[in-house]
């Protein structure tokens, strides 16, 4: 039983006798759990293999160092790691008002001199972007005189630094300590994402950056940027600046400039996070039509135009000329190998009312099946994106409608009840496509009580299928849609509820103990608060360092 590293939770113990009355509206399926110490301390997400001893070592701010091993393939010139060393050094010692004890007060058995980082791959990845095939594994050994962090690539080293920071705790005298520890770790799934919606409410860049930082604390590695939608078009295109000039809430204050986008992508890269943009069509495009004439379909009331517009007009050559130019730009601006093309929730009402589209349907032999018209559009769009050498992700409707897809297409499942999404996962994987899950992780849907437990219990491989089918599940995403979310409430609504998803996507499938998860997550939430993240509480408790606001 590991004792010393659990001292951080002493101040957080919930006195069950002081809980007060149970609210009538707590979900019946949600357990009430009293906070206790976990034998794994406050590690989150839980590593694949971890052994922690009661033997402890002290760390002193003035003498502790993070440095590159002599044989490391990523030396002082690796700015990604050097930036991470500075960032995590402050996390190790943040909030310390004094350096205690000083070096000359140590005995030989009391102190840890530093953390040595060894990257072993000849191409460590310092100047590269993370990818879906990136090696994120690492090993961490904490012993005297130096702890050793070993990883093939820099991406694993970033995760190892976060894990080491979670091992550091304060004793009763305020001194920083870490226990004798051995960890071998790697993610269960390669794609562990957060979707943020910047169309329904504009999110300032600093809010996005703060949440990228928090994603790194939870070992997420994909920022799915749902950047535009019906309400607004905040992406400032170099090729089509009129899209944001007329489609954004404000053409200057509520747009993401090329410099903003570049900064967000680089900030994410330095934390091992991919940025995958979503430009959803043919539906969800009302804001597009404000800056691009003839892009949307004119709706009709009887024989006359109604003055309203529907989805992208799929019968005009100008539509595809525009899409070709736009996605050529997107392929350059966003370096990730994938772009999300949406394809969900297309309302056929306007198409059905338009006489030109009716004639086109007849010419193509589509009859009255407007799903075939949608497929016609999607197929041409997929060909355009494929010509830019990008892979694509699409919402499940595109697959359900039978559109011809490339073998490396990633199908994003988001609809239905548990039984329905499990059936969908089985159907997609039996067709040989890779898939990821979001249905149980729509974090914009909130409930009184500890709804994180439901997120924690959902597993993307929990469906009827072969082992080969299960291997096609590359992960999942927690989604926070923006109808009722902006900069004022995004972060506390997202964290630590998204942390539950993070552990499900990183840790071993057998890590399912809700009580132990609650014990670790409660302290992990306090750690995020100490680092300046306004993560909401799980239940009655308090943190040694309360959130001070901005």
Positions annotated as catalytic residues are 345
The three-state secondary structure class of 379 is helix
Per the CB < 8 A criterion, the answer to whether 411 and 435 are in contact is yes
Q: List alpha helices for 136-226, DSSP H.
A: 154-167, 205-217
| Residues ≥6 apart with Cβ < 8 Å to 410 | 338, 391, 392, 393, 394, 433, 434, 435, 436, 474
Which of 144, 142, 146, 145 has the alpha carbon at shortest distance from 47? 142
Which of 385, 407, 522, 527 has the alpha carbon at shortest distance from 453? 522
- CA 374/CA 351 separation, integer angstroms: 10
Per the CB < 8 A criterion, the answer to whether 35 and 13 are in contact is yes
The three-state secondary structure class of 137 is coil
**Greatest extent of the chain over all pairs of C-alpha atoms, in Å:** 90
Which of 443, 437, 459 has the alpha carbon at shortest distance from 536? 443
Per the CB < 8 A criterion, the answer to whether 191 and 438 are in contact is no
What stretch of H or E contains 230? none
- CA 356/CA 346 separation, integer angstroms: 18
Instruction: Report how far Cα 98 is from the mean position of its chain's Cα atoms.
Output: 35
Residue written as token pair 């039984």: 419
The three-state secondary structure class of 114 is strand
What stretch of H or E contains 171? none
Count of residues in the chain: 550
CA distances from 40 to 242, 518, 524 (A): 54, 12, 12
Q: Which residues, in sequence order, are bridge partners of residue 276?
A: 224
Q: What angle in degrees, to the nearest 10, is found between the helix axes of 370-387 and 317-333?
A: 40
Is the preceding peptide bond at 359 cis, omega within 30 degrees of 0? no
Instruction: Report how far Cα 404 is from the mean position of its chain's Cα atoms.
Output: 28
CA distances from 168 to 4, 54, 112 (A): 10, 13, 11
Task: Please tell me what DSSP assigns to residue 238.
Answer: S
């Amino acid at each position: 039983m590991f004792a010393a590293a659990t001292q951080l939770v002493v101040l957080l113990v919930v006195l069950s006798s002081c809980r007060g009355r149970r609210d009538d509206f707590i979900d019946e399926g949600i357990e009430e759990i009293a906070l206790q110490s976990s034998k794994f301390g406050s590690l989150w997400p839980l590593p694949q293999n971890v052994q922690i001893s009661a033997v402890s070592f002290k760390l002193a701010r003035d003498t502790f160092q993070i440095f590159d091993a002599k044989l490391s393939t990523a030396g002082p010139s690796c700015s990604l790691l050097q930036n991470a060393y500075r960032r995590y050094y402050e996390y190790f010692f943040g909030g310390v008002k004094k350096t205690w004890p000083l070096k000359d007060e140590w005995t030989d058995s009391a102190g840890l001199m530093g953390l040595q980082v060894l990257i072993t791959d000849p191409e460590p990845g310092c100047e590269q972007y993370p990818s879906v095939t990136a090696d994120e594994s690492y090993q961490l050994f904490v012993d005297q005189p130096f702890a050793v962090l070993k990883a093939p690539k820099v991406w694993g080293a970033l995760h190892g630094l976060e894990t080491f920071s979670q091992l550091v705790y304060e004793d009763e005298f305020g001194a920083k300590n870490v226990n004798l520890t051995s960890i071998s770790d790697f993610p269960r799934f390669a794609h562990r994402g957060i979707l943020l919606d910047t169309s329904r409410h504009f999110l300032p860049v600093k809010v996005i950056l703060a949440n990228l930082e928090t994603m790194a604390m939870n070992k997420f590695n994909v920022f799915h940027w749902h950047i535009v939608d019906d309400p607004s078009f905040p992406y400032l295109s170099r090729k089509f600046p009129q899209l944001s000039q007329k489609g954004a809430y404000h053409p200057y204050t509520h747009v993401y400039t090329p410099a903003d986008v570049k900064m967000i992508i680089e900030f994410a890269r330095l934390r091992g996070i991919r940025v995958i943009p979503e430009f959803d069509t043919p539906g969800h495009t009302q804001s597009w039509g404000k800056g691009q004439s003839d892009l949307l379909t004119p709706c009709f009331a009887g024989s006359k135009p109604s003055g309203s517009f529907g989805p992208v007009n799929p019968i005009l050559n100008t539509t595809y000329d525009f899409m070709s130019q736009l996605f050529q730009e997107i392929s350059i601006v966003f370096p990730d190998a994938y772009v999300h093309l949406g394809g969900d929730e297309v309302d056929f009402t306007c198409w059905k009312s338009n006489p030109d589209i009716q004639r086109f349907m007849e010419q193509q032999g589509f009859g009255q099946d407007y799903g075939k018209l949608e497929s016609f559009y999607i197929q041409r769009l997929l060909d355009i994106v494929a010509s830019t050498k990008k892979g694509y992700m699409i919402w499940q409707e595109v697959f359900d409608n039978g559109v011809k897809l490339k073998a490396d297409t990633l199908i994003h499942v988001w609809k239905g009840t548990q039984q329905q999404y499990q059936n969908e996962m089985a159907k997609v994987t039996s067709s040989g496509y890779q898939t990821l899950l979001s249905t149980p992780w729509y974090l914009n849907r909130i409930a009184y009580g500890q709804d994180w437990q439901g997120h924690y219990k959902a597993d993307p491989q929990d469906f009827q299928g072969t082992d080969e089918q299960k291997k096609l599940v590359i992960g999942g995403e927690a989604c926070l849609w923006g109808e009722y979310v902006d900069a004022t409430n995004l972060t506390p609504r997202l964290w630590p509820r998204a942390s539950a998803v993070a552990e499900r996507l990183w840790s071993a499938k057998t890590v399912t103990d809700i009580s132990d998860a609650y014990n670790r997550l409660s302290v992990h939430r306090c750690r995020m608060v100490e680092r300046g993240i306004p993560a909401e509480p799980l239940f009655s408790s308090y943190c040694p360092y309360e959130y001070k606001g901005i």
